[in-house]
Each structure stands twice: as structure tokens, then as C-alpha cells.
Structure 1
Amino acid sequence: MSDARNHPDHSEVRPAATGQGPGPRGVAWLVCGRRTKWLVLVLWLIVVAVAFPLAQKLTDAQDNDATSWLPGSAESTQVFNSAKAFRPEEVPAVVVYARDGGLTVADKQKIGADATAMSAMSADGIQGARVQGPQFDASATAAQILVPIKMDKNGWNHIADAVDRLRDRSGTSDNGLQVHITGPGGTSADFAKAFSGIDSTLLFSALAVVVVMLLITYRSPTLILVPVISVVWALSAAQALIYLLARHAGLTVNGQSAGILTVLVFGAGTDYALLLVSRYREELRRHEDRHEAMARALHRAGPAVLASGATVVLGMLVLMVAEMNSTKGLGPVAAIGVAVALLAMLTLFPALLVIFGRWIFWPVKPVFGSADPTARGVWAHTGRRIATRPRTVWVTTAVVLAACSIGLLQLKANGLSNADSFTGRPDSIVGAEVQAKHFPAGSGDPLVIITAADKAAEVRRAVAATDGVVPASIGVPPGTAAEHDGEVLLEATMTARPDSDAAHTTVERVRDAVHAVPGAHARVGGGTAAVLDMEKATTHDNKLVIPLVLLVVLCVLAILLRALVAPLLLIATVVLSFAAALGISALAFRHLFDYAGESTDFPLFVFVFLVALGIDYNIFLSTRIREEAAHQGTRRGVVTALAATGAVITSAGLVLAGTFAVLGTLPMVAFAEIGFAVALGVLLDTFIVRSILVTSLFLDVGRRVWWPHRLSRDPEEGPVAVPTGAGQGRGSTTN
């Protein structure tokens, strides 16, 4: 569909008429040729028709089993796997009753009737035959019933249903009798409810953010349809591919990776769309034929988009070296999502733009021969102002960012307790507090010890002699196989709350005690031990993954820019931006949101997302600077490139920040913190690092920034000029 007012479809201005040199051919024309654009559309229609039903099944393929989160080699993981031979995979839900002043006769009758009824339950994985209780505290003011719930293949999927069934029987707090469901089963149910609908919640929230930002950016109600269609189709294709790999190739997908997938595809895909549209607009003003314009846009912007996507994909794949299974599993899931988004934005998106023609830009269509509006815009003015004293600008900016990073002293990335993991106070958290007042705090979430059968007595004595353990609680739990392959399973209740630092210390002491028993080969697991092992593994991952991601990004930049100085400067600016974002976030979490701390993997995830995604804007700017530097020198090229890319990179940053901010819609502190920190970091990259710090650094260093490439040896350019046709790549400037 062509814009008839500007040109007929058969009228193509040849390269000689535009003064642009030979037109690009090859891959670009395969995407946007007069006939091949329709072939691209048909192929994507087939892909989406096949992918959509498969994408809907991704939730069913999720594995939220403990082993999908735990570090593979950890002691708690070994115990978890070995325990399957002794009993079904299960978590205990604890139904707690309490009344100030003491339980009444009617209360006790109700509690007894509830226990009897729960003992007869079998639906939704409830193991009624193994119900324990009721157990009353010494003062008869509280009672508890332990109800084992069998885990299904997908972990959380039916725990929430089982807890709802128990709550239907027990009722809720009424007339002074407090009734709560807590323990690992109750907490897991609340986590499951927090994650329920995560895919649709994030999908519609991200879609709303993208639509609003595109309307603001494009000021065109019609143009937003093309990137939205492309991103949604890309997400469906990615989800379908991930589903197939999860079903048939052993790829691990859990609630966390599925949720982040949506945000990454929307954020990265929209960013690539914005960059291509910006370059396409430029070319439409220089070429009457839209096919030629798109081919040139892909030819010039394609390498930057490809390098950006490759950086994100490789950065995500680095996560596969992590010890944490949840982190390791996120790597390929995120990489596949971004790779599919990149493919869609380099094929489907340009094909759709060419098919629709210039009218898609309504009401402000780019007219052939019109002036480039970026030539004298705010970003051109900003570049000229920075050029007057670039060294002062970058030193001042760096000092301010370094000052912001002092907030890192407020960072408490040592894990979140269950109570601190929710933005609200679900029933399981309230119930845990009530339970801790009347029973040993570790009731319902015991230590699990697997040891050689002939050493069981010695191990039991060693555990009983350890501080923090209730000696009378040590034994073989009901319904557990007495012995398997010469080993036995024991449980022990801790005196401290399972998610407390004191409980972690108890686990360490118990492990030291049982490991010291000769020939016992004892291993200690359970919920508290698992959290402790996760924190240790994440600390290891932070030290390993962060340097590797930096190395990968540095290599991509060096290959793309064919230089060493520029990549090192860009990496330094991103690290400084990351530190500042983390510092400001830590202050906000302590003094604005009143969060207790951060999850152990918080710095790692924020770093990976900020470096892999935040470097995009530096790639977009630096590749444009390099393109312009070849025609008019580095310093003039910096101002021209900033003028040409400023608006689109700003828009892309706002879209990406907005899509990550939607993580805050989940009632989980860890997701809210990651969303806030990444959104803040992206905004810092967009408005401070890219537009001020990188620009002033490149202006100050000048041609030497391209060392050892030949551009570093070009004659020194003269005073920075005012671009009259920003982004035309021809060096035509005036003072």
C-alpha cells in the first residue's frame, strides 16, 4: 500500500538520483522486496498459527519443583532427591488454632472434628492418612494439625487448591478463635497465588506500557499496530519453542523464568522496533521508493540491532554457568526469547512496515525530500553545549554517579525471610507468627537427615546434643520407610523460626556434628538447609557470572566497533551506571519502601539485565558515531549521532524501563526490587550515561577512541559544527 500522494508504487528513485551511492542488496532485500515481503508475512503467519496453541501450554510445562530452583550439587538437593525413596514428595501444611485466654470446650471439639475430617481427605494431594494431631500447647491456648500435601510434577500447581480445601474445613478467624494455615504448605500456597496469572498479568501490563509509550513516541495511532503485532507474535513463537524444548529436550522452565521472558521480549523487541522505525523515517525522506528506504535502513541500522541482540543473548547464556538451577534455567529461556524477538524485528517488522506504506505514519507522514527534524532539535543543541567543555562535563557526571553509588552501603542482599518476601501479609505469615508463640518455631518445617542405618543412633545423639534443636523431636517421621539401601531418614525440629538467621546457624552446627560421625555419610536437608545452600550458591554465582558477562559484552563491542578504547570506555560507563542504580535503589528500599532487604541473587539479576540491555543504547549511539566519524571526523560525528539518535534512544529507554517496572505489579518483594532497580538503571543509562557521559567522553578523547582502527589515525578534525542534516552520513555541516 503506497502513499499515492507522494509517489506511485512503480516509481522508484534510483541511487544515482539520491546521491547515496549503490543501493543495498542481499539480505535486506529478501525481507522488504516487492514480492519477498509477502513471503515473509506468510511464513510468520504459518509460524504463529502453529505456535499459538503451543504457547498456551507453557504454564503446564513449568517445573516449580524444588530441584528446579536449588543448586544441583548442594547437600540439601541430595537430601531432597534421596528422600523420595522414603516417602512421597510432600510439604506439610500446618493448621494453627489459638485463642487469647485459652481454647474453649467448643474450640477443642471443633479442632478435633477438623482433624478427623482432614484425616479422611485425599483430593488435591492431601495425605489424610498421615495427618498428625491435633497437638495442644502446654497452656491449652493453641493447637496445631500437620497435614502432608503431596507435590505434583509442577510443584506448586495444586498446593493452593489443597490449602483452599483445608481452609474450607477449618474456616477462618472468627469470634476470637484464630485459624491460620502456615508451614511450608501454607507458604507455598501463598507463593502460588502470588504467581498465579503471572503470564497474563505481565503480558497485559507490558502491552499497556508499550502502547502508551509508542503513542507518545510516534504520535500515531496507526503506527503502534506494527510493533505491537510483531512483539506479540514473537512472544508466542518464543513461548512455543520453549514449550517444545521443555517437553522434549529437558529445558527447565519455572514461574520466574516464564515471567521474565515476557518482560524481556516486550522490552527488547520494542527497543529494536523503535531504532528501525527511526532509521526508516530518515531514509523515507531521502528515497521516494519505500522498499529502497527500508533496505537502506536495515543495511545501516541492522548491524547495531544485531549486535545489541547478540549481546543480550550471549549475556543470558552466561547464566548457564551458574550453580543455582533457577538462574541456570533462566539463561536459555531468556536467550531464546530475545533471539526470537530479534528475528521478528529484523524480518516480520520491516516487512509489515513496507506492506502498509507511508500512510501507517498518519497523521505525520515522512515526505520525500523534506528536512530531517532532528538536525536542530534538543539533542543537537545538547551535543553542542557538551562540546564546549566535554572534560568538565564527563568528570562532573562521573563524580555524581559515583556519589550515588555510596548508597550501596545500605544494600542488604543476604536473603529475604518468608515474612519479608511478600509486599503484604498473607495468611501463612500471620499463622507462622501465631505458631511461634505457642510451639517450637521450627514446627512444620523440620531438618531432614539421611544417614547410614547402622550409624543412626550415633547421628541421633549428635543432633540431640546440638544447640538449636529440640531433642525430643528427633526420630523417623510417621509414614516413612524404615530403611532404604542401608540408609534411614530422620527429622528434627529447630527452636528457631525456619527462615531466620538463627535457624541457618543451627543447620551449620548440625551439619558439622553429623559430618563428624565416622562412616555415617550423613547429609542434612530440609527447607532451611535449602535456603542456606541457595544463598551460598548465589554468592558463588555473583563472583563468577558478573565478570563473564562483562567479558562477553566487551568482546561484542570490540568486534562491532573494531576498536579497544571505545569498548573499554563504554563498559566503564555501564558499570558506573549499575553501581549508581544499585546505590539509589538500596536507599529507596530502606527509606521509601521499607523493605527488609534484598534477595541474594538481586545484584546478579540487576547486573545482567542492566549490562546486557543497557549496553544497547551505547551500541546504538557508538555505532552511529562511528558511521558519521568516517565522513566528518569523530568530534563532529558525536554531535551528529547524538542529534540523530537522541529521541529514539530516549523513547526506547522509557519503553524498556516501563516494561520492567510492571514487575512491581506482582505482590513479591524480590520482583518489585528487580523491576525498580532495572527501570531506574535503564533511565540512568538513557538520560545520563548515554546522552551526557558517553557523549562527553567521546568528544574529549576524540579520534583516539577508535584505536587501533585506522579512524584513530585520521587527521584531527576542526571545531565541532552544527549539523544541518543530522544522520545523513555525508558530513555536510555548518558553523
Structure 2
Amino acid sequence: MSTVENTRVPRWLRILLPAVLIVVWLALAGVGGPYFGRVSEVSSNDQSSYLPASADATKVADLQSKFSGTSAVPAIVVYQRSSGLTKDDLASILDDSKKIADLPGVHGDVSPPVSSKDGKAAEVFVPFVDDSNLDAHVAGLRTHLDSSTPNGVNSYITGPAGFTADLVAAFGGIDGILLAVALAAVFVILVIVYRSPLLPVLVLATSMFALCVALLVVWWLAKWGVVQLNGQVQGILFILVIGAATDYSLLYVSRYREALRDEGSRWRATWTAIRGAFGPIVASAGTVIVGLLCLLFSDLNSNKALGPVAAIGIVFAFLAAMTLLPSLLLAFGRAAFWPVRPKLGSEHPQVVGPHAHGLWARVAGWIRRAPRVIWIVCTIALLAGATGLLQLKAQGVPQSDLILGHSDARDGQNVLADHFAGGSGSPAMVVGPESQLQSMADLLLDHSGVSSVTVVAKDSSSGTAPVTKNGIQPLGPPGTPTPAPTVVDGDVMLQATLTHPADSDAAESAVRSLRADLTRLHDGILVGGVTAVAIDSNDASIHDRNTIIPIVLVVILLILMLLLRAILAPVLLVLSVMVSFAASLGVSAYVFDGIFHFPGADPAVPLYGFVFLVALGIDYNIFLMTRVREESQLHGTREGILRGLAVTGGVITSAGLVLASTFAALGVIPILFLAQIAFIVAFGVLVDTLIVRSLLVPAVSYDIGRAIWWPSKLWRRGER
């Protein structure tokens, strides 16, 4: 084969091909790089946009603009003086509310201040235009309030616009801090592993070029409406591409370094390395891609959006590792490994036997001596960690708890709840037939979770009019005409102010109860609003979790069967990853509850953790078992297991440390969901790398022997 390659591939082509590949990647990355600063143009962090079109909350959100004639997002400005607002305070706030109407982004009428019953607080409703600059508009209002709020009075911006602005600000570190932390962690690990200053730079360049091109493609797909992008998906895309591209690069580098010991020609060494690495890497990337695409079965748009976006990232991670990195290493040759260069003709390290040395040779020796003890102890330890699942609280968290650290909107909501009805400014929206208007209002008013009801009215200066048991009430002095409700396709919209904060458990219980009661009144009545969005999101997440996890398991099991051409080995691998996932999630539950004191978790957290840990955790088993199968064909199954473990031990451990570090970097973004995913995946990858792949799988496979390849030809072949 080497002779054929020398004679059939002209020298000019051996120089031109890698040069062209490097130039193409450099050009694409140069185009894609600037898009890091433009993600906000195609990204949305509006929680209702995550919902499926079939959800009641989505339907109500779509109808809301028809009733109000605008798609404004409301903000609530809350003013508070602990000793009570004075007349001068209220006069100043009233005057300022007129000035707020002229601020950039304000879209519609700003309400006059509404005082609380205790006289200590006032609220002003400010409608903002719903566009990509919402956070900038809210920041402008914040700057205005800093100078216009009376001395001694505290002001806060809360409501849907306030929380959205806080979320955007929390995600603001994704482009800079997240990438810097992830790349720094990976660089340090690679320098320690390779003891080379140049090779880590080549590997990181490969990862960053893959990310730049992936972002370029995703940005335009989001621009055309093909995929949906938000801060959550963006952060995971960045980490996933860097981690996966680095993992694939490490496997290729390992094969290339081996080939340089046997081949004097860099070209032949490159092709030898590509042939050896291509199978495991394409199988690994394919498994992750298929696992991610299973998210398309999701009901929740945020889950459905992640699948194709992350799959695109994995595609470019694979392409970069198999085209750009080989080209770079071909250009640098042995110099890439300086100062520890692999020498031509040098012996490969002894991995098993009496002359073997090093950590992985010792681990192989332990497994040879006591395989059953090792896999039983590992299994018991993992099952012990899984007991934490009993206290995992993944039924959703209030919107106000999504942001870790300071949140002006959360502080404002707490003040609002102290002085007004808890759901003030974030009412439940009820859409139903005009003929049922009074019946719907009566039902709402009789519910203990509702403090007041208004109807969207076309003749009201405030856009709404109060509704009592006696019907719609006029706003203004005696003689003011009663406003008529706005009617859209025969329906009216009522706004029910809840007695509890819109993101509280009590509010969710009230909305579920109202939905059941209103459906009995008329089955076409819809209930939306902030609380309904949270309910529909959580319900969809639970449905997705129960649907997608079995699909991912079946799909990955089938892929492993095709790859290993066996049944028993893939079943054992999937079972090992499931036990590993259960242990990782259980330990995480203990940590979240006992150390970080998190309020709970989104129902999507176990699903995301499962998809990443199963898809990525199976990667290491693929890297291991494909090499074990290769060695087993030459040396027999038990010897092949020990050789495969010893040969791949260093590279897979390095890959696991890199991936764990990159996912841990998500923790720098102060979002509860990302912090939890960061810990679960980072911890789970370490468990997969250091326990499952290093001890559990090799030990149980060694104990079973060649039967793990049942029913393939390798199973029927005797041990050597």
C-alpha cells in the first residue's frame, strides 16, 4: 500500500492538497469569525417562542397582538419608599412616566402610576416593542431611572421585558468569557498531555475553525427561519463543537504519532493515521449526530432547535478533525510534537506483558487478575450514586430563579408581591367566545387565585376595562361611557390578575384549576400568559423526556450492533452508560440540593444530560471497543481487551478531561439550566472516562471473554 501511494500520488499533489484544505478552512473561518458578534440578530430568548404551536399559551400569544393591535412586551417599573411615597414622589413619578413614553423602544401608551394600598409603592406599565434590541431598550430605561427616580425611592424594572433583558445580559458572556475559559482549560490540559507548545495550538485551531464555520452555517439557517437559535442553544453549540473537535483530534493525533514510528514519509503516515482513526471517529460522530437528531421528536421548540444546530456543529467538528488537522500535521510533520518527537523505527511501548510499564499497563494487569471483583465493585459504586435520583427535583423552577446572582427583575417582582397582588403585570390571558364574557368573568372572580379581572377594550384609554359581577365598568368620572370589548373572530380576551406571583407554584396551581373550570364552561376557551407558558413548557419537557430517552437508547444500540457486528457487546455498553448516567444524575442531585441549594431543575435538564452523556459517553466506549475488536482479531479477545485498553487509555482519558473541562466552562454563564448541565455532563464524562471505560467495561468484557462478540464470527473463533 505504501508503494502504491508513493507511485500513484505525485509530489505536487501531496503538497497542493493539504495546502488547499488549509486555505479553504482559513477562508471559511475568516468569514464565520465575525458572526460571533452578530448572534443576537437571529437569536431569541423569549420563553414563549420555545413552545410548540399546539400549546394553548402559544395560541394565546399569537392572538394577543390581534386584540391589542401591537406585539409589545410589557415592563413594570416599581417604585418603593419604605416609609411611604410622598405626594412629591407621586407627582415626580407621574411627570416621569410621560417622559418615559419618549424613550427609544417604548411602543404604546405608558400608564400613569398606580399606588399600592399601603402607600409604600407604585407601579408604571411600559410597553416595549418586541424586537432584538429589547435588552438595549430596557437598559436605556434603567439608565433613565437612575437619574430621574426621587431621592430615597428605589426603582426596579420587572415584568416580561425585565426578565428577558436580565436573561440576555446573563447570556452576554457566551461570546467572550465562555470561549476564553473553555479554550484556556483545553490548552492547559493539552500542554500537560503532549508536553509540546505547538501541538495544542494546532488542535485548538482545528476546534475554533470548526466552530467558526458551524456558526456561519447556523447563523444563516436561523436567518432563513430553518432553525431556531437562543442563548441556551448557542452556549451548548460552542462547548459541544470545541469539545468534540478536540476529542476527535486527540484520537487522530494518537494514530499519527504511532504511524510516524513506522513510516519515514509524512504522507504515508498521514494516510495510515486516517485509515486507523476514520472508523472510530465517524462512528462516534455519527452516534452523537443521530442522538442529537432524536431531539426532533420533541414537542418543545427549544429542544427541537438544539438537535439540528448541535448536529451541524458535530459535522464540522468531524470534518475539521479529518481534513484540517491532518493537513496541518502533514505540513509540520514530527516538528509538531517538539520537543518529544516520535523517532522513525523506535519501538512502540509495551502495553501488556512482563515488560509493560505505565499506568494503563498496571490497570490492564489488575483486570487480568481480578476482573469480576472490579466490575462488581464499580457497579455497586455507581448504583450507590444513583440513589440520589430519589431526591431529584426536576419539575420546573420559577422564572425568577433562572438567573443566578443579581437580577433587577427578580428584586422588582419581590417588591411587587409585597405591595400589590402577586401576579400584577403578568396576568393570565383568557380567550373565549364573546357570548361567554360574563360567565368567564364570574368564574374567574369566584376563584381564590384571582384578585381582579379586566377585558381588552377598544374604547378604553388604557386598552382594558375592569369587569365585575355587574359587567364591564367604565374608567373615569360618572357619565363616562362603558367601553366595548375588542372582538376578534367572535372571541374576547380577559386578563386575570393572580393573587400570587406569576412564576410561583401557587399561580401554576391556580391556572391549571382555571383551565379545567373554563373548559367545562366551554371547550374552546384558551388560557395563556406568563404562568401558562411555564406550565406548557414544563409539561412539554416531561413529555419529551419520557419519549426521547427510549428512542435515543434504541437508536444507539442499533448503531453499536452495526459497528461491532455483535449483539451482546452493544447491550453491555448501553447498560454501562445507563448506569453511569443514573449515577451522574444522582450525585448531581445530592450536590444541587445539599451544596448549591438550587431551587430545583427544569424537566429538560435530565433529558439534555441524558442525550449528551449517552451520546458522548458512548464515544469513549466506541474508541475503546473498536480498538479492542481490532486487537482481538490478532491476539484473541481477552488479550485484545487488555491491549485495547492500554493503547487507548491515555488518549481517551485526555479526551475525557478535555470534554469535561469544556462543559464545566458552561458554569461561568449565570443561568441555572446551564450551570446544572455543566455539572451533570462534566461529572458524568469523568465517570464514563475514569470508571466505566477504564474499569467497568474492560473488566466485565474480560470476565465474559469471546462471548461478548456473540453472534459474530469473532465469537466463534477460539482464544489464542
Q: Which runs of 5+ in 1 are unaligned?
A: 1-13, 17-21, 718-735
For 1:585-596, what aligned pairs fall within 5 Å after superposition? Answer: 585-596=588-599
- 1:86 paired to 2:67: yes
Query: How far has the Cα of 1:166 moved from its partner?
Result: 4.4
- 1:627 paired to 2:630: yes
Conservation of the 8 A alpha-carbon contact between 2:46 and 2:164 = no
Partner of 2:95: 113
Give the alignment partner of residue 371 of structure 2, picking from 376, 387, 390. 390
Conservation of the 8 A alpha-carbon contact between 1:31 and 1:37 = no
Moved more, 504-513 or 459-468: 459-468
Give the alignment partner of residue 665 of structure 1, picking from 661, 668, 679. 668
Conservation of the 8 A alpha-carbon contact between 1:32 and 1:350 = no
- 1:694 paired to 2:697: yes
| Equivalent-residue separation in structure 2 for 1:607 and 1:413 (angstroms) | 14
| Equivalent-residue separation in structure 2 for 1:171 and 1:183 (angstroms) | 21
- 1:100 paired to 2:82: yes
Label 1:559 to 1:217 Cα distance change in 2 as closer, same or farther (>3 A). same
| Equivalent-residue separation in structure 2 for 1:30 and 1:36 (angstroms) | 10
Conservation of the 8 A alpha-carbon contact between 2:397 and 2:599 = yes
Conservation of the 8 A alpha-carbon contact between 2:241 and 2:313 = yes
- 1:618 paired to 2:599: no
| Equivalent-residue separation in structure 2 for 1:50 and 1:173 (angstroms) | 46
| Equivalent-residue separation in structure 2 for 1:305 and 1:29 (angstroms) | 28
Moved more, 569-578 or 369-378: 369-378
| Equivalent-residue separation in structure 2 for 1:226 and 1:139 (angstroms) | 65
Label 1:636 to 1:542 Cα distance change in 2 as closer, same or farther (>3 A). same
Q: Deviations over 1:585-613 (max 9, x none)?
A: 11111111111111111000000010111
Conservation of the 8 A alpha-carbon contact between 2:74 and 2:125 = yes
Q: Secondary structure at the match of 1:130?
A: coil
| Equivalent-residue separation in structure 1 for 2:673 and 2:387 (angstroms) | 22
Query: How far has the Cα of 1:194 moved from its partner?
Result: 0.5
Q: Deviations over 1:20-54 (max 9, x none)?
A: xx87999x999994542223223323433444455
Q: Secondary structure at the match of 1:123?
A: coil
Q: Secondary structure at the match of 1:516?
A: helix
What amino acid is the match of 1:177? V
Query: How far has the Cα of 1:261 moved from its partner?
Result: 0.7
Partner of 1:548: 551
| Equivalent-residue separation in structure 2 for 1:163 and 1:50 (angstroms) | 31
What amino acid is the match of 1:110? S
For 1:494-513, what aligned pairs fall within 5 Å after superposition? Answer: 494-513=498-517
Conservation of the 8 A alpha-carbon contact between 1:610 and 1:682 = yes
Query: How far has the Cα of 1:177 moved from its partner?
Result: 2.5
- 1:448 paired to 2:429: yes
| Equivalent-residue separation in structure 1 for 2:120 and 2:275 (angstroms) | 76
Partner of 2:715: 712
| Equivalent-residue separation in structure 1 for 2:11 and 2:660 (angstroms) | 33
Query: How far has the Cα of 1:716 moved from its partner?
Result: 2.8
Label 1:359 to 1:53 Cα distance change in 2 as closer, same or farther (>3 A). same
| Equivalent-residue separation in structure 2 for 1:25 and 1:403 (angstroms) | 60
Conservation of the 8 A alpha-carbon contact between 1:92 and 1:146 = yes
| Equivalent-residue separation in structure 2 for 1:356 and 1:114 (angstroms) | 66
What amino acid is the match of 2:128? I
Q: Deviations over 1:283-327 (max 9, x none)?
A: 111111121112111111210000000011111111011000000
Partner of 1:433: 414
What amino acid is the match of 2:664? A
Label 1:292 to 1:309 Cα distance change in 2 as closer, same or farther (>3 A). same
Conservation of the 8 A alpha-carbon contact between 1:562 and 1:706 = yes
What amino acid is the match of 1:143? A
Moved more, 500-509 or 134-143: 134-143
- 1:515 paired to 2:515: no
Q: Secondary structure at the match of 2:273?
A: helix
Conservation of the 8 A alpha-carbon contact between 1:15 and 1:23 = yes
Query: How far has the Cα of 1:191 moved from its partner?
Result: 1.0
Identity value in percent = 42
Label 1:31 to 1:318 Cα distance change in 2 as closer, same or farther (>3 A). farther
Moved more, 215-224 or 676-685: 215-224
TM-score, with normalisation over the residues of structure 2?
0.92
| Equivalent-residue separation in structure 2 for 1:408 and 1:502 (angstroms) | 25
Query: How far has the Cα of 1:682 moved from its partner?
Result: 0.3
- 1:558 paired to 2:561: yes
Label 1:471 to 1:423 Cα distance change in 2 as closer, same or farther (>3 A). closer
For 1:9-408, what aligned pairs fall within 5 Å after superposition? Answer: 33-53=14-34, 56-87=37-68, 88-118=70-100, 120-124=101-105, 126-127=106-107, 129-152=108-131, 154=132, 157-169=133-145, 171=147, 176-248=152-224, 250-373=226-349, 375=351, 376-408=357-389
| Equivalent-residue separation in structure 2 for 1:65 and 1:140 (angstroms) | 33
| Equivalent-residue separation in structure 1 for 2:306 and 2:431 (angstroms) | 31
- 1:485 paired to 2:489: yes
Conservation of the 8 A alpha-carbon contact between 2:638 and 2:719 = no
Query: How far has the Cα of 1:247 moved from its partner?
Result: 2.2
Conservation of the 8 A alpha-carbon contact between 1:319 and 1:327 = yes
Conservation of the 8 A alpha-carbon contact between 2:263 and 2:344 = yes
Q: Secondary structure at the match of 1:132?
A: coil
Q: Secondary structure at the match of 2:113?
A: strand
Query: How far has the Cα of 1:400 moved from its partner?
Result: 0.7
- 1:568 paired to 2:582: no
Partner of 2:482: none
| Equivalent-residue separation in structure 2 for 1:410 and 1:378 (angstroms) | 37
Moved more, 689-698 or 467-476: 467-476
Conservation of the 8 A alpha-carbon contact between 1:419 and 1:425 = no
Moved more, 304-313 or 168-177: 168-177
Q: Secondary structure at the match of 1:181?
A: strand
Conservation of the 8 A alpha-carbon contact between 1:160 and 1:188 = no
Q: Which runs of 5+ in 2 are unaligned?
A: 352-356, 465-484
Query: How far has the Cα of 1:418 moved from its partner?
Result: 2.7
What amino acid is the match of 1:525? G
Q: Secondary structure at the match of 2:718?
A: coil
Label 1:253 to 1:349 Cα distance change in 2 as closer, same or farther (>3 A). same
Conservation of the 8 A alpha-carbon contact between 1:72 and 1:324 = no
Conservation of the 8 A alpha-carbon contact between 1:182 and 1:432 = yes
TM-score, with normalisation over the residues of structure 1?
0.90
Query: How far has the Cα of 1:202 moved from its partner?
Result: 2.1
Partner of 2:452: 471
| Equivalent-residue separation in structure 2 for 1:412 and 1:30 (angstroms) | 62
What amino acid is the match of 1:627? E
Partner of 2:473: none
Label 1:623 to 1:25 Cα distance change in 2 as closer, same or farther (>3 A). farther
| Equivalent-residue separation in structure 2 for 1:634 and 1:524 (angstroms) | 62
| Equivalent-residue separation in structure 2 for 1:30 and 1:397 (angstroms) | 53
Label 1:472 to 1:381 Cα distance change in 2 as closer, same or farther (>3 A). closer
Q: Deviations over 1:178-232 (max 9, x none)?
A: 2222122221211111012423332222221221111111110011121111111
Label 1:374 to 1:251 Cα distance change in 2 as closer, same or farther (>3 A). farther
Partner of 2:479: none
Partner of 2:480: none
Q: Secondary structure at the match of 2:77?
A: strand
Query: How far has the Cα of 1:450 moved from its partner?
Result: 1.4
Moved more, 248-257 or 652-661: 248-257
What amino acid is the match of 1:36? L
| Equivalent-residue separation in structure 1 for 2:514 and 2:445 (angstroms) | 9
| Equivalent-residue separation in structure 1 for 2:6 and 2:545 (angstroms) | 44
| Equivalent-residue separation in structure 1 for 2:148 and 2:684 (angstroms) | 43
What amino acid is the match of 1:711? L
Q: Secondary structure at the match of 1:198?
A: helix
Conservation of the 8 A alpha-carbon contact between 1:79 and 1:525 = yes
